[in-house]
Chain A
């Protein structure tokens, strides 16, 4: 499938900043089945440093602007060819041992409620392997949380989501990570693009990857009850939504900012 991405992120600061430094990870992940035809990241008024490859394979650049300004704009355009890998991430170069992803963060900590939820599933899948457990966990979370915008915030932890049973893709992902870690399966948070299936769905998306010793990383999307396929384009990952954030910024001399994001992912004819 050929996908075209247009992604504009505008920050409008309340007061002009003296300088702004941002880390930007908006580059597609290279792995088997993904072909990057063209990709460009530009930042208005900023100088951009050299790209580094992080230990987890993320690609990061630092953009810096020292011009006094109220606005910042990051524009991403690109075209890629994707194939359906059924969630299997192969041929991806990274140095990090998957065991680090058994670490919890404030957002992925589990409590007795989550632990009971996972334990029940583990009992049900007693005779099956870890991978089938993961599939049933994915479905169970899909069933458990009602997708609703505005019910959670950027830093709502999995424990709260488990109690409110409401949230967006980020919250599905956090609960899935929290549950997997409790079940002893390394899990991480993934950020990327998704070709929307209808007008109402989002083009930026978050899902998870779970690690299995005999297979490697497999990408699950608990908010769609599926594994990832050719509609998904992986960007970057982390322990949770905060560590995986594709844009982080520090503005000196200013405080509150307004965010305006315009993103489109379209299927285009063969190139």
Chain B
């Protein structure tokens, strides 16, 4: 059974009643015009997304769908409490495995799964970041499978992207259809940049006595999320810098400015661990800041997110998250996990190879919908090839059943139709823990498709949380 977010037994669900009227109020063809207008606005603002392919890097626009996705206050409460619970637990997990490692000593998680993973950053062992928080910004991907059932697809603990789309989607909707926002009581998402800045200030090193100086560190304009980096820096009112704009001296980080060096206290970095410090990680990195790790470990700067927090969203760790929640919080998981087979285990491998036709197989370290196989949609030949890949390198793969992602009304060339969606809510964890009342909804624009990734042609929608 596929859950239809708008319709229930032939009638429109309550949160969608006004939108249903609004959709029906469009005279013939005018919807197409509005659709084009929305794409034009996106283009004018310059929101693009580059897709890494073997050919030259290509800048693409993410198609915007005008029909919003709507949650009631009650539904959102459930999602929000689930996201908070998971973010708290994953941070406790990170602080534990990089310090006392109790969860491993208690044999809840196998030691080799943690220590054998490349995402486990050995240089972070023994270090406690400010407020014991490693992952300050999470974007946990959730799908809805029934009225009250939300399932976590994957955790993103490093530097999840997409929040700029969430904000732009809202902006465009408000520009194009201001009436919708007076007719519906919708929670505002405008405070995200303010909250992000507050969170970053709250994690400044202890020895920072004044208002902390914050920067956003980007790999540069060739990065697929560069637009977002500049967007966030701009809205927070902080500098957007590249590695070469920063330097370290006596374990302090400085930014080069026209008036001389300016001390930096908090770095919201949007570059991978690996490239962060050529003296500590990849020596060939040209986009990092030499010496930044020593400044960090000496307590003179905070790096957000902490290096090594990728182990918490590692797909091999994912299946243990319910145990992680129980272990640290003594709570039952609010959001469910998808049943996951770890091909590293012989029993699981056997099952996966036998049932590959019904499963989705993913690379443990893959992302963006690349390097995966969707069993039910794959040809015999694809299955044969992929099975061989799994057999050669079982520890590289996990498998999950195909999920019935819920559907939302979406504009298509043939009119409004149902398309599958997922949800990425954003959670900030510093002095306070908060989930923004809005999210990025990604929509698979092809009929029956379950792949919502923007890199694979997915689109986005404005996401509403209705006020009580």
User: Footprint of B on A, CB under 8 Å?
Assistant: 19, 21-23, 47-50, 52, 54-56, 60-62, 64, 66, 95-97, 99-100, 102-103, 242, 248-250, 252
Contact = CB atoms under 8 A, between A and B. Distances in A.
B329 interface: no
A159 B357 CA distance: 38
Interface stretch (B121-129, B136-144, B146-154, B182-190): B121-129
Interface stretch (B12-20, B110-118, B207-215, B436-444): B110-118
A252 B249 CA distance: 14
B298 interface: yes
Interface residues of B, number: 30
Contact of A252 (B115, B244, B248): B244
Contacts of A242: 283
Contacts of A62: 248, 251, 279, 290-291, 294-295
B248 A55 contact: no
A167 B153 CA distance: 49
Contacts of A99: 111-112, 115-116
Nearest to B294: A62
A34 B79 CA distance: 57
B395 to A, nearest CB: 12
A189 to B, nearest CB: 14
A242 B112 CA distance: 24
A145 B120 CA distance: 34
Given A49-B298, A56-B122, A97-B101, A250 B116 contact: no
Contact of A66 (B123, B249, B283): B249
Contacts of B248: 21, 49, 62, 64
Closest 8 CB pairs of A and B: A55-B125, A49-B251, A95-B126, A99-B115, A21-B290, A23-B279, A250-B290, A62-B291
B426 interface: no
Interface of B: 101, 104, 111-112, 115-116, 118, 120, 122-127, 244, 247-251, 278-280, 283, 290-291, 294-295, 297-298
Which of A48, A99, A100, A242 has most chain B Cβ within 10 Å? A100
Contacts of B120: 100
A110 B49 CA distance: 39
B244 A55 contact: no
Which of B123, B248, B290 has most chain A Cβ within 10 Å? B290
B251 A248 contact: no
A101 B29 CA distance: 64
B249 A54 contact: no
A254 B126 CA distance: 36
A175 to B, nearest CB: 22
Contacts of B297: 52
Contacts of A102: 112, 115-116
A21 B279 contact: yes
Contacts of A252: 244
B388 to A, nearest CB: 18
Contacts of A60: 294
A52 B298 contact: yes
13 contacts: A21-B279, A21-B290, A21-B291, A47-B250, A49-B294, A55-B123, A55-B126, A96-B126, A99-B116, A100-B122, A242-B283, A248-B283, A250-B290
A64 B104 CA distance: 39
Contacts of B122: 55-56, 96, 100
Which of A21, A60, A66, A248 has most chain B Cβ within 10 Å? A21
Given A62-B291, A97-B111, A23 B280 contact: yes
B112 A64 contact: no
A248 B118 contact: no
B227 to A, nearest CB: 28
